[in-house]
Amino acid sequence: MYRTFVIARHTAVEAMAQPIYLLVLAIGAALMCLFGLLPFFTLGVDTKMFLDVGRDFVLLLVLLAT
């Protein structure tokens, strides 16, 4: 278990050292703020729609980063 944690930590540090990481993080934060301001005409389930769109967008950014 300890070895797995060490490998995961080093992998995360190496990924965060890449220049694309900051770019993807900034784009993701900006678009999540934008999604919070935009109305979703969903008849009362805005929170669920916001979570779904946010989750989908995070998955897309992770795909682009890898």
Mean pLDDT per block of 10 residues along the chain (66 residues) reads 91 86 86 78 76 85 80
d(CA 13, CA 66): 14
**For residue 49, what pLDDT is reported?**
79
Does the reported pTM lie above 0.85?
Answer: no
Tokens of 61: 């950014």
**For residue 4, what pLDDT is reported?**
94
**For residue 17, what pLDDT is reported?**
86
**For residue 24, what pLDDT is reported?**
85
d(CA 36, CA 14): 31
